[in-house]
């Protein structure tokens, strides 16, 4: 019994240790970062960086990478502000649904065309950014009826409405990945794509669903941030890719595809938010947060590499390896 518990906990041991250490260090050097207030601050990382990391993690599990999440969040923020007459819930829902639909389209195209998702999403990154500028008229836009966003500013003990929404989405995505057929397909196609397809897993559907989740999460993140702040600017959120990817990988989502859970993402987001809010509370600039994020990210992938010594051939990073091992299912084109 102890053995099976150990096996279950092991994937989380390293990120959990990193979280404890960073929390203790930050709480020691930053007196204001203690108690319920600090837990609240960490949970406030989930609505923006957390949701983006969650979506990115799903694409990484599928063996792909969605570079367009920052632009998607900016576009959804603009849509949420533009549709604000529909009410708080209405505008956030509309923005999230539009984003999810665009993501599903993107994933379907990537699957159908069998194109490398890095290549495809670098194009859509620019395209969606352009659409954001067009929809905002090239300038920041504001919500007219600003009182409607008041519910988002309330605090309930360690929670806010945004963090409750974000944590609910974490739970739903976690259930989807673990307990539904479509969710398990994402793991299958990311872990061993050719073998999975040979065994009957559809090629396109897991990509459609993973990119829909990634875009949907990014859109929800952008829409929540925009409605909470009452405005959207077309140039926002370009840095979300770094913090989102860093959080997912810090938490232990494997770059090699097919492995990781929402708990990994949650741990990674917590680590990143502890560092960011802790340093911000000390008056440090955002650039120092980037510096620490980069260093943590590098350390984490080095540890994963040394621990795993795996190859990346079944993921989007399978350079020079995948193309020459002829794909057994690739005979139909």
Partner 1 sequence: MIEPEKAGAVGSSPLMRAEAGGRLVWLPLAIVIGLAAVAIIIAIAVTPSFLTVDNIRAILRNASIVGIVAVAMTPITLSGNFVSLAISQSAMLAMVSFVAMVGAGWPQPLAILVVIAGLIVVGVLQGIVVASGLNPVITTLAAGAIIYGIVSEITGGGIVRAGDYLISWGSSTLVGIPIQVLVFLIFTILVTILMSRTVTGRETMLVGANRATARISGISFTRVTIVSFAIFSIGLALAGILNGAAFNQSTARSFPNLTIDVIAALLVGGTAIQGGQGSPLRSAGGALLIAVISDMMVLNDFSTGGRLAVQGGVVVVIVVLLDQLRRRRVVGS
Residues of span 28-67 touching partner 1 by CB under 8 A: 65
Instruction: Write down the least CB distance from residue 229 to partner 1, Å.
Output: 21
* Of 56 and 226, CB closest to partner 1: 56
Q: Does 290 bind partner 1 (CB under 8 A)?
A: yes
| Contact code string over 121-140 relative to partner 1, x by CB under 8 A | -xxxxxxxxxxxxxxx-x--
The token duo for 226 is: 């925009």
Among 171, 175, 295, 328, binds partner 1 (CB under 8 A): 295
Q: Does 198 bind partner 1 (CB under 8 A)?
A: no
Calpha distance 196→69 (Å, rounded): 27
Q: Does 321 bind partner 1 (CB under 8 A)?
A: yes
Among 39, 148, 233, 288, binds partner 1 (CB under 8 A): 288
* Of 144 and 325, CB closest to partner 1: 325
Residue listed under structure tokens 């020691």 = 28
Instruction: Write down the least CB distance from residue 151 to partner 1, Å.
Output: 31
Instruction: Write down the least CB distance from residue 67 to partner 1, Å.
Output: 9
* Of 12 and 133, CB closest to partner 1: 133
Binding residues for partner 1, total number by CB under 8 A: 63
Among 9, 21, 29, 285, binds partner 1 (CB under 8 A): 285
Mark the segment that binds partner 1 (CB under 8 A) among 40-48, 85-93, 261-269, 303-311.
303-311
Residues of span 247-276 touching partner 1 by CB under 8 A: 249, 255
Q: Does 246 bind partner 1 (CB under 8 A)?
A: yes
In the complex, the residues that contact partner 1 under the rule CB under 8 A are: 65, 109, 113-116, 118-120, 122-136, 138, 234, 241-242, 245-246, 249, 255, 285, 287-295, 297-298, 301-302, 305, 309, 311-313, 317-326, 330, 333
């Amino acid at each position: 019994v102890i053995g099976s518990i150990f096996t279950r906990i092991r994937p989380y041991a390293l990120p959990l240790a990193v979280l404890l250490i960073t929390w203790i260090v930050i709480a020691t050097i930053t007196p204001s970062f203690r108690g319920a207030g600090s837990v609240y601050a960490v949970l406030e990382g989930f609505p923006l960086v957390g949701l983006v990391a969650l979506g990115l993690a799903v694409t990484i599990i599928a063996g792909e990478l969605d570079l367009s999440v920052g632009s998607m969040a900016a576009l959804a923020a603009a849509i949420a502000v533009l549709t604000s007459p529909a009410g708080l819930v209405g505008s956030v829902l509309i923005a999230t649904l539009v984003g999810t639909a665009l993501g599903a389209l993107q994933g379907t195209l990537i699957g159908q065309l069998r194109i490398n998702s890095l290549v495809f999403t670098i194009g859509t990154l620019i395209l969606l950014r352009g659409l954001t500028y067009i929809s905002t008229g090239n300038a920041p836009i504001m919500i007219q009826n600003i009182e409607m966003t008041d519910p988002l500013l309330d605090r309930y003990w360690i929670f806010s409405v945004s963090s409750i929404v974000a944590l609910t989405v974490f739970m739903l995505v976690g259930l989807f990945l673990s307990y539904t057929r479509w969710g398990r397909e994402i793991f299958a196609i990311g872990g061993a794509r050719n073998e999975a397809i040979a065994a009957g897993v559809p090629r396109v559907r897991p990509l459609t669903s993973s990119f829909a989740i990634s875009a949907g999460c990014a859109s929800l993140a952008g829409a929540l941030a925009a409605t909470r702040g009452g405005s959207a600017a077309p140039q926002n959120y370009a840095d979300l890719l770094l913090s989102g990817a860093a959080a997912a990988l810090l938490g232990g989502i494997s770059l090699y595809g097919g492995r990781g859970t929402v708990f990994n993402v949650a741990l990674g987001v917590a680590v990143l938010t502890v560092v960011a809010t802790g340093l911000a509370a000390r008056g440090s600039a955002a650039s120092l947060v980037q510096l620490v994020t980069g260093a943590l990210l590098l350390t984490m992938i080095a540890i994963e590499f040394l621990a795993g010594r795996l190859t990346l051939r079944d993921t989007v990073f399978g350079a020079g390896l995948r193309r020459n091992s002829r794909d057994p299912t690739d005979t139909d084109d």
